[in-house]
Structure 1
Amino acid sequence: MTLLGDTSRPGGVTFAFTERTGGVSKAPYASLNLGSRCGDDPACVAENRARALAALDAEKSLVEPRQVHGDHVVVVDSSAPEALAAARAQAQAGADAIVCTVPGVPVLLCFADCVPVVLIAPGAFAVVHSGWRGTLARISAKAAAVLAEEAACETTDICAYVGPHASAADYEVSAELLATFEDEFGTIVHTAETERNLDLSAAIRCALTRVGLDSARILDACPSTVSNTDRFYSYRAEGGICGRHAAIAYL
């Protein structure tokens, strides 16, 4: 199993972007599939998640949202059983970002081309799922604003880590969608690879800096999922049938 991320605990947070190797799932989900809604054997998913959490020395009581490509943010601010159960219920009702200020509660979101974003504040974090719809809705920026409020800090205190996703070179979209993104974020979202390649990461960086994050504290050094299916799952490259890698974080 390979984990991309930072285990040095910036802000007291451990986080990682997983890869697809080191698990027990069989093809087409081989092997460290962490997604529970893609058709894999639930027992395999459970074992894979146990391995990923153990690698991070994290607790097993996950908070995991039902991701709906929206912009709803759920806050986990108490580990009391009733409060944690309520937060989990809100997440399962549909959310694409979790803000957590509670020690010992790991958060997991799944991906297979969409953009994972982990936001770190002193003593708090957010994990964000940003597909093209969520990116247009500026979900990362909304999560950053909520995180700053919950952590009682400024957005300038937040660091952002962008995980593996379909990079601009591998992400061709319709002319209409590209035009919509250019209207919202400017021409920085358009790469010269083709006439219609979209850079979601550039749009996310733009949204984050507009709410006050320092561009130097937004890090994106991960390879493209589409052209690295030996390491990551790619819905686009694998015809829509594949597992899911994850972004995991906890205090």
Structure 2
Amino acid sequence: MEGTLKRETRQGVTLVGELAGSVRFGFTERTGGMSEPPFTSLNLGGHVGDDPAAVAENRRRVLAALGVDAPLGALLVPNQVHGDHVALVDDASPAALARVRDEIAAGADAIVCSVPGVPVLLCFADCVPVILTLGDAFAVVHSGWKGTRARISAKAARVLAETVGKDIAGIRAWIGPHIRGDEYEVSPELMADFAATFDAVRPAAAAGSRLLDLAACIREALTEAGVPGGSIRDAGLSTLRDNDRFFSYRAEHGRCGRHGAVAVITGRAL
């Protein structure tokens, strides 16, 4: 177990997550794919210079490990731009999904989904993956320092609650593998910027530290939005220390693959 999540290997692909129930989700590890170095081996990022055929096969394997019957073409993978745009999937009709694909191609760093059979994947290599669930719906969020400062996880939580018509206090949140607060050194200016808006890092900044704890800031933003602190779980996994399991942009000097946060609502496949 990792935090409250289960680590499970299926068909050679290892995920840390919840792989049963109405909403299945997981944080992928880097093994079990077909990508060659330096993308070894389960690289899910299509923008890093890897062989597109390898990326496609890796994504297919992840869907199979998650137990998703939908074809690879049903997978939604946004163009992540370190912004705070949250795309919404609340209609599985072909026309609606085509509009969503156009929207996320223009840039999105979170997707809220309330319809079954539409798998969602976002990619990471040190930034913070966040998965939110509420009833039979979910959100997958990419939160680097820019997204964290913009409180994108809290924004996604509000969209998720509004979409399903439920109290935001019912949301459960999981923080996945990322560069940890005792590893992520930033400039004095960026540290001061975060300390001006997040109580969680103010004591460290006041003591002269330049170690930025993004997960603590995400937790603060979520609780401010109304998500109970006890419903926010951190898997406690480090991309830097656990570089054999996850990709790390810093550890691998900017040349590496991307692991993923993937989720789907079980039910009819597209």
Q: Answer yes or no: is the 8 Å Cα contact 1:121–1:157 preserved in 2.
A: yes
Write the distance in 1 (CA, Å) between the matches of 2:149 and 2:132: 18
2:9 aligned partner: none
Offset from partner CA, 1:27-84 (integer Å, 9 cap, x none): 0000000000010000000110111100001123101110000000100111110111
Q: Which stretches of structure 1, 4 residues or longer, exceed 6 Å deviation after superposition?
A: none
Residue 142 (structure 1) shift: 0.3
Q: Distance in 2 between matches of 1:80 and 1:190?
A: 49
| Equivalent residue, structure 1, for 2:16 | 4
Q: 1:125 aligns with which of 126, 130, 138?
A: 138
Q: Following superposition of structure 1 onto structure 2, how do residues 21-100 of structure 1 map, counting pairs within 5 Å?
A: 21-58=31-68, 59=70, 60=72, 61-100=74-113
Structure-1 residue corresponding to 2:268: none
Q: Find the aligned partners of 2:187 and 2:199 in 1 and give their Cα distance.
A: 16
1:127-152 deviation digits (Å, cap 9, x = unpaired): 00000000000000000000000011
Pair 1:195 & 2:209 matched: yes
Alignment RMSD, CA only? 1.4
Task: Map 1:137-176 to 2 at 5 A.
Answer: 137-176=150-189
Q: How many residues align?
A: 249
Give aligned-pair identity as a percent.
58
Contact kept in structure 1, 2:200 and 2:217, CA below 8 Å: no
Q: Does 1:103 align with 2:116?
A: yes
Of 237, 245, 251 in structure 2, the residue corresponding to residue 237 of structure 1 is: 251
* Unmatched 5+ stretches in structure 1: none
Q: Is the 8 A contact 1:189 1:202 kept in 2?
A: no
Residue 187 of structure 1, CA deviation: 4.2
Is 1:15 aligned with 2:25?
A: yes
Provide, for residues 181-231 of structure 1, a one-character-per-residue CA deviation record: whole Å limited to 9, x for no partner.
Answer: 111111446659982100000000000000100000000023110121100
CA spacing shift, 1:187–1:108, aligned 2, 3 Å: closer
Within a 5 Å distance, the mapping from 1:208-219 to structure 2 comes to 208-219=222-233
Query: What is the identity, as a one-letter code, of the residue corresponding to 1:229?
Result: N
Distance 1:81 1:189 in 2: 47
* 2:138 aligned counterpart, secondary structure: strand
Contact 1:127 1:249 in 2 (8 A): yes
Distance in structure 2 (CA, Å) of the matches to 1:205 and 1:212:
11
For 1:65 and 1:191, locate their aligned partners in 2 and report how far apart those are by CA, in whole Å: 34
Alpha-carbon separation, structure 1, partners of 2:245 and 2:204: 24
Correspondence for 2:262: 248
Which of these residues, 179, 185, 189, is aligned with residue 192 of structure 2? 179
Amino acid of the residue matched to residue 160 of structure 2?
L
Kept after mapping to 2: 8 A contact 1:20/1:233:
yes
TM-score (structure 2 length as normaliser):
0.90
TM-score by length of 1: 0.96
Task: Output the CA distance in 1 between the equivalents of 2:62 and 2:51.
Answer: 17
Q: What CA distance in whole angstroms lies between the structure 2 residues aligned with 1:238 and 1:49?
A: 22
Contact 1:169 1:191 in 2 (8 A): no
